[in-house]
Amino acid sequence: MFHFTALVTCLALLFYFVTSFNVGKARVTFGVKAPAISGNPDFERVFRVQMNTLEWLPLFLPALWLFAIYISDAIAAALGVVWIAGRILYMIGYSRAANKRGLGFGIQASAAILLWLGALGAVTWRLVHA
Amino acid sequence: MFHFTALVTCLALLFYFVTSFNVGKARVTFGVKAPAISGNPDFERVFRVQMNTLEWLPLFLPALWLFAIYISDAIAAALGVVWIAGRILYMIGYSRAANKRGLGFGIQASAAILLWLGALGAVTWRLVHA
Amino acid sequence: MFHFTALVTCLALLFYFVTSFNVGKARVTFGVKAPAISGNPDFERVFRVQMNTLEWLPLFLPALWLFAIYISDAIAAALGVVWIAGRILYMIGYSRAANKRGLGFGIQASAAILLWLGALGAVTWRLVHA
């Protein structure tokens, strides 16, 4: 079973939910009424945090689970925690200024790419040795 | 096996496909040519229905499956049906006016959050008792 | 095990990563600074390639895996390769002009719909015969 990976998945979804919730709050704070998604740069940065998290989830979640299944539940979950931590840094930085999003972005990208590389390597190895 | 959850997954994907198809139709109806995604509020509301469904899918689908695996295929599928019903209400309401999207949104959010809470609870219980 | 489907999943994620990377490059080339996502049609088309890929991933990946589990790993993976090929055509076409995106779009849509139809049919058959 993959309990650690399942737990990290729940936590990643919670983080994503928070970024979505922040967009709703920012609509009120900055007076950007739905369906508009632009018009105020402070709103747009909060919106882009959610969108960017959404953009990375379909990369992160499949890579996380393939890594867990083909390599290790615990290592996958540990890299997943690093991804969430990078995402939190990215959210805090980007909410302040567009040029403060680099560090968190790099951390989460590295964690996701490691998960992807591990999954690809392990799947390929299995196919070659099957 | 998780036949009910698999069926509900197929139906949720069908609903999402319909919202995407509506965006293509709305491009023609309201004269918003690709790659533009704004300029006409009627088009923007149809576009936001698809986008919001896309935004909730990576929350809904993993929570649905973790709930099915850790708790029950049938209960997960039942909550999944509620999610789709809420989504349909949201689509109908939002297509008419931005302020008519509340009820459907609340229903689908409640179903998704219940799936997530159930999954988190069951995963945590298993980790503690492992 | 589903090694072929796992490999095609990794390749689909790689393709998606490339479309995201292209948006970052296009921000520099066309001078569209984050958080803006509009203002230059050349940038908007590159951005829409990524967004459209993101929009199809939650349709493609669950349909791919349900097809693999319920029908066949090898056929699912083969249709997955067609999907990626269609996506590459779509990316090349759309990067040049909005009206050159049709062929690739149709190929990837057909592959995704076949995966979805196969999954729905097989799941329904199993439920009826359970």
- Region A81-85: mean pLDDT is 98
Residue C36 · residue A37 · CB < 8 Å: no
- Inter-chain residue contact A55 with C50, CB threshold 8 Å: yes
- Inter-chain residue contact C16 with A59, CB threshold 8 Å: yes
* CB-closest option in B7, B33, B61 to C124: B7
Is the pLDDT confidence value at B130 over 80?
Answer: no
User: In this prediction, what percent of chain B has a pLDDT beyond 90?
Assistant: 85
Please provide the average confidence, as pLDDT, over all residues in chain A: 95
Confidence of residue B36 (pLDDT cuts 50, 70, 90): confident
Is the pLDDT confidence value at A9 over 90?
Answer: yes
pTM: 0.94
Would you list the DSSP string of chain B? --HHHHHHHHHHHHHHHHHHHHHHHHHHHTT--TT---S-HHHHHHHHHHHHHHHHHHHHHHHHHHHHHHT-HHHHHHHHHHHHHHHHHHHHHHHH-GGG-HHHHHHHHHHHHHHHHHHHHHHHHHHHT-
To the nearest whole angstrom, how far is the Cα of A56 from the nearest Cα of chain C? 9
Is the pLDDT confidence value at A57 over 90?
Answer: yes
Q: Which residue has the higher pLDDT, A37 or C96?
A: C96
- Inter-chain residue contact C4 with A119, CB threshold 8 Å: no
Residue A46 · residue A59 · CB < 8 Å: no
pLDDT at A30: 93
Q: In chain B, what residues touch A7 (CB-CB under 8 Å)?
A: 120, 123-124, 127
User: CB neighbours of A99 closer than 8 A, spacing ≥ 6?
Assistant: none
pLDDT at B98: 86
Q: How far apart are CA B18 and CA B22, in angstroms?
A: 6
Q: CA–CA distance from B31 to each of A122, B23, B93, C12 (Å)?
A: 49, 11, 22, 32
Is the pLDDT confidence value at A130 over 80?
Answer: no
- Region B95-124: mean pLDDT is 96
Chains with 3+ CB–CB pairs under 8 A to B are A, C
Nearest-Cα residue of chain C relative to residue B47: C55
Please provide the average confidence, as pLDDT, over all residues in chain B: 95
Nearest C-alpha neighbor of C54 from the set A82, A53, B60, B115 = A53
Q: How far apart are CA B17 and CA C66, in angstroms?
A: 17
Residue C52 · residue C104 · CB < 8 Å: no
pLDDT at A37: 82
- Inter-chain residue contact B38 with A34, CB threshold 8 Å: no
To the nearest whole angstrom, how far is the Cα of A38 from the nearest Cα of chain C? 8
Q: How far apart are CA B4 and CA B9, in angstroms?
A: 9
For residue A10, what are its two tokens? 């729940």
pLDDT at A98: 86
Q: What is the ipTM of this complex?
A: 0.92
For residue A78, what are its two tokens? 């540990």
Nearest-Cα residue of chain C relative to residue A57: C54
Nearest-Cα residue of chain C relative to residue A63: C10
- SS3 string, B82-106, reads HHHHHHHHHHHHHHHCHHHCHHHHH
Is the pLDDT confidence value at A39 over 90?
Answer: no
- Region A46-74: mean pLDDT is 96
pLDDT at C94: 93
Q: Which of B16, B46, B57, B66 to mutate to test the interface with A (most CBs of A within 10 A)?
A: B66
Q: Which of C16, C59, C95, C127 to mutate to test the interface with B (most CBs of B within 10 A)?
A: C59
* Helix then strand then coil, % of chain A, to nearest 5: 85, 0, 15
